[in-house]
Amino acid sequence: MEQVRIGIIGMGNMGSSHAKNIFDGHIKGAILTAICDERQDRIQWAENMFGNKVQCFNSYDDFFANADIDGVIIATPHYDHPPLAIKAFKRGLHVLSEKPAGVYTKNVREMNEAAVESGKVFGMMFNQRTNPLYQKVRELISSGELGEIKRTNWIITDWYRSQSYYDSGGWRATWSGEGGGVMLNQSPHQLDLWQWTTGLMPKRVRAFSGFGKYHDIEVEDDVTAYVEYENGATGVFITSTGEAPGTNRFEIVGDCGKLVVEDHKLTFSRLRQSEREFNRTYKGGFGEPECWKIDIPIHGKTTEHIGIMNNWVDAILHGAELLAPGEEGIKSLAISNAVYLSSWTDDWVEMPIDEDLYYEKLQEKIEQSTFKKEDNNDITLNVSGTH
């Protein structure tokens, strides 16, 4: 194969942006050959934009049966990611899915199994993994510079949303339409980076969520989650769409110092002697290891969605290693699911979570949801404004 023929499902904000990038030649070795959207106005938009060089489909079945494609990018509402990916793998297509991997891990696991079975290249649109800042955080941890992790803390509240944002789509911030709120719509990137940079998944979670706390919505718009890791480390993740201005500060404390990411800068407070060793050997009472505050230089630019698409196509054509393998989407989603489950049950949640219990609880929420998906297919695919 010299060129990967790509189809995109979902012509909302993200999908149409990806389509234009491929159409305009920004993705090496990729060609846009098909798009699919159930909304006629989005089909019209695509026809105007791409002319007759791109096949346009207004039904998933038609698309999967007749599109001339090798790979598909899924940019639909959250719930549709796993079933569409599974369809694609069954047709022998490579898949790149928008985040989150899905709404519940139960069917994301099925998606991952289908991916493995297909042997196709499966990527997840974790575009923030292309940010050299977070790549550096990951490198400083995986290389051992920071030492064993003791505590993580991410305050990520710069997702301010007004009521008018939520009112702009009936599916927004509903259990049946989106499947969640700030944890599922705004924070998946940070949830992914939290586990990806540290290499740690929580062992158990105790979370506290405010549902419709700052807005007239049924899902959560304010969350504080406390986690414990296998090695004894603890962590806190705080997110909200009700604060202005927000904070985005990620702190990781290790045996050899502290990393802080804030204001697009990475600071490493590096100990010359590990704390554990100092603790064992120092005899002076008060005192602490010598510490150097270092501004870590960051090289390169974040390549975002284009970077992820190039990497995915490169993997298809030349076997390049994926920066964001699709199978890893389940990790951040599992944390997210655990946060909901803990908030709903007002109790600890051990990880891996009880997927059936989560699915069952989610169904209860969907049944009580103010938004009924079948009411209006027209707006279920409207992802404009999401990231």
> Which residues contact its own copies by CB under 8 A?
150-151, 153, 155, 157, 160-165, 168, 206, 208, 210, 213-215, 222, 224, 226, 228, 232, 234, 236, 238, 240, 242-245, 247, 251, 253, 257-258, 260, 269, 271, 275, 278-280, 282-289, 291, 385
Q: At what angle do helices 329-345 and 188-198 cross, to 10 degrees?
A: 110
* Least separation in angstroms between CB 181 and its own copies: 15
- CB closer to its own copies, 60 vs 214: 214
Q: Which is nearer to its own copies, 125 or 271 (CB)?
A: 271
Provide the 8-state DSSP code for 325. Answer: B
Q: Which is nearer to its own copies, 45 or 282 (CB)?
A: 282
Closest distance of CB 38 from its own copies, Å: 23
Pick from 300, 306, 302, 307: which is nearest to 323 by CA? 307
- In whole angstroms, how close is the CB of 265 to its own copies at the nearest point? 14
Nearer to its own copies, 74 or 338 (CB): 338
What does the DSSP assignment read for 253-307? Answer: EETTEEEEEETTEEEEEEESS-HHHHHHH--SSS----EEEEE----S---HHHH
Phi then psi for residue 336, to 5 deg, are -60, -45
Provide the minimum distance between the beta carbon of 378 and its own copies in the complex, in angstroms, as a whole number: 18
Report how far residue 61's alpha carbon sits from residue 27's, in angstroms, rounded to the nearest whole number: 27
Beta-sheet strand order (sheet of 122-124): 55-57, 30-36, 4-9, 71-74, 94-97, 122-124
User: Is the CB of 13 or the CB of 58 nearer to its own copies?
Assistant: 13
Nearest approach, Cβ of residue 278 and its own copies (Å): 6
- CA–CA distance, 355 with 366 (Å, rounded to integer): 16
Amino acid in position 164: S
Least distance from C-beta 350 to its own copies, angstroms?
Answer: 14
Closer Cβ to its own copies, 248 or 303, answer by number: 248
